[in-house]
Structure 1
């Protein structure tokens, strides 16, 4: 079951809530909207499927893109989505893929919501983005990723004692969506 959601916060942020009858929820941040990223991304859907039906998943689209403040606005969209979910669910998790992984890390570091866990897949982020995350964190990277360099984020996550998973995949994890969904889903499920 999937229900439409309009996330309050001053921007046009819309999403789909999967498995809405659960006690816990994960907010899923999509890849870059300028490169076709949306709430329908197959990696977000795979994670949502792995969580269902016990854990709800809010897959959302960012508000309108702004070339000067895009990443900060998108992190704000994720924070508003977390606030919306926090009003409805007992425990919260956060997930992001690619650009959405960087958004998720920024939102995890800034949010007022209490996060039980955060997972990022092939995050397009600077390694120092992890420093402010104070919940259990999973970083999943593709060893053949040519879109982003996974080493700095993976190495920093390891230094900070977070879980790092390396997959024999490229950035898009072609042919590996279900397996990655189960891997991320298991990490989040165990903490929610």
Structure 2
């Protein structure tokens, strides 16, 4: 029997303290955890794929365990097979997450029954955190420090400032 490999997929746009909690805990369940950074056609990312990869790599550098970060742009089950994974790690925050994740796990099992999905409940203090909400709070000038690692806070602030500056420049060119 080889090493137990798990994958933790997500867009990580931006990576949050909730993601980091699942990565820390997931890494304890497998011999090797592959964090799969993906694109999601239904989302418009704040950060490029390369930026998200670099951020996740930096943030997991001090996490205990064998953790790899790689990108993928395929079906999750194809990615899991490519990585040699037998487990998909997913974080759950609320009942709404469960309904979606339950449906996805069922579909994934139909595609490949040899890969199991393991759900980890988010830490109670981190349950409300969602990347989408972090971006929304930041865009409206709110404080995101309680939701993201310190370096990520600065990166989000820089993206918001650039977006505001671009909007101001577009506004004055029309004026």
Larger fraction in helix:
2
Name the TM-score class by shorter chain. Answer: 0.3 to 0.5
- Larger Rg, first or second structure (1 or 2): 2
TM-score after normalising by structure 1: 0.35
More strand by share: 1
Q: Higher relative CO (CA 8 A, sep ≥ 6), structure 1 or 2?
A: 2
